[in-house]
Amino acid sequence: MRVRKREVKIGGMAIGGSNPIAVQTMLNVPIDDIPGNVAQARRCAAAGCQILRVTCPTPADARCIEAVKKAVDIPIVADIHFDYRAALACAAVGVDKIRINPGNIGSDDRVKEVVTACRAGHIPIRIGVNGGSLEKHILAKYGAPVPEAMVESALYHVRLLEKFDFEDIVISIKSSNVPRMMEAYRQLSAVTDYPLHVGVTEAGTYQMGLLKSGMGIGGLLLEGIGDTIRVSLAADPEKEVEAGFNILRAVGYAVAGPEVITCPTCGRTQYPCIEIANEVERRLQGYKKPIKVAVMGCVVNGPGEAREADIGIAGGKNEAVLFVHGQPVRKLTGDNILDQFMEEIYKL
């Protein structure tokens, strides 16, 4: 059961409330390469990314934010660390959301200026707490970036915004330590109704990052916690988008597009099941219909084990049985079984 948070609008979309969980990523092209950022943003949008974050270290870099915003029609988030003038510059070019920790930008006057600009532009602010960079006074109090310390940090930044009656807020509270990050989100979710952006930070290389994100993000989603997710991987951001949707699928959320299921294969397998499954998945990239496609290793158990699939094949020797909802339909033979199968999928 989803933990219901208040709704926050980000450009033309909304998160929280009963809105679907949005998948986001962040560009990783150097910020001074505007064409490179624009091209990568287009690739992310084509991969289905729903919210796109771009760093903005200086006010001049708002030019890149502006260019990316013009190039794609998904909400753009500016990532600001210390320079409040960069936040103002992004608000001026119509960014859809700003990630900034108000405690990092100095005086109340600066916070007030950012809040005023965001309020005028209907721009929400995400507070992004990271276990690795907690405020010194909070770290001194707890001695380590424990969940309680991360929650206290998040609420400290929240109060700095609420002081100016600003409540258009999203919060993240990330750590690279999965149990710690999960507990921090649980504690935070219990004391706030602001929507939560969930992620494991510095999750590691591709494989480890996938695992940690699957456990941390997926685990929290299963507990109903999370309104938007970002999988952090040392990889292209399109891969993060793909992983985000796969996590949503894995925990049972309806996601547009096909899902390919396959068995691990075993000694009964007599055809290139794994290669075919990968190729089917590759060819179905960008296909919009929400269908389940199975590629199973053998006829004996395959159709039954993949009963929940809309369509599938189970391979034998130089042939495959085509099945629909677990029932065999006919045999595919010859050396183009894969092409025949794809034709059947597109007919559905």
Interface contacts to ligand SF4, rule CB under 6 A: 263-266, 268-269, 296-298, 300-302, 305
Q: Which is nearer to ligand SF4, 16 or 302 (CB)?
A: 302
In the complex, least distance from residue 42 CB atom to ligand SF4, rounded to whole angstroms? 39
Nearer to ligand SF4, 162 or 275 (CB): 275
CB 37 within 8 A of CB 31: yes
Residue 21 Cα distances to 94, 245, 250, 286, angstroms: 24, 10, 14, 19
Instruction: Please say whether the beta carbons of 261 and 292 come within 8 A.
Output: yes
CA separation (Å) from 95 to 116, 168, 283, 297? Answer: 14, 15, 35, 49
- Please name which of 8, 15, 85, 88 lies closest in space to residue 50, comparing C-alpha atoms: 15
Q: How far is the CB of 271 from ligand SF4 (least distance, A)?
A: 10
Q: From the CB of 336, what's the least distance to ligand SF4, in Å?
A: 22
Q: How far is the CB of 276 from ligand SF4 (least distance, A)?
A: 13
Judged by CB, which is closer to ligand SF4: 198, or 263? 263
Q: Which is nearer to ligand SF4, 257 or 326 (CB)?
A: 326
Using CB positions, name the residue nearest to ligand SF4: 297
Residue 299 CB, nearest approach to ligand SF4 (Å) = 8
Which is nearer to ligand SF4, 124 or 297 (by Cβ)? 297
| Residue whose CB is less far from ligand SF4, 200 or 332 | 332
**Smaller CB separation from ligand SF4, 131 or 312:** 312
Q: Which two tokens stand for residue 204?
A: 């590691």
Give the whole-angstrom CA distance, residue 268 versus residue 298: 6
In the complex with ligand SF4, the residue whose CB is nearer, 43 or 268, is 268
Would you call 259 helix, strand, or coil by DSSP?
Answer: strand
| Contact criterion met (CB below 8 Å) for 149 and 134 | yes
Q: Which residues in 200-238 are b (16+ Cβ under 10 Å) and which e?
A: bbebbeeeebbebbbbbbbbbbeeebbbbbbbbbebbbb
For the bound state, the minimum distance from the C-beta of residue 70 to ligand SF4, rounded and expressed in Å, comes to 49
CB 141 to ligand SF4: min, Å: 53
Question: What's the rounded Cα separation, in Å, for the pair 147 and 159?
Answer: 18
CB of 191 to ligand SF4, least distance (A): 46
User: What's the min distance (Å) between Cβ of 290 and ligand SF4?
Assistant: 24
Are residues 172 and 128 in contact, defined by beta-carbon separation less than 8 angstroms?
yes
HEC sequence for 47-106: CCCCEEEEECCCHHHHHHHHHHHHHCCCCEEEECCCCHHHHHHHHHCCCCEEECCHHHCC
- The residue among 143 and 264 lying less far from ligand SF4, judged by its C-beta, is 264
In this structure, what token pair is assigned to residue 315? 């391979």
Per the structure block, which two tokens stand in for 296?
Answer: 């199973």
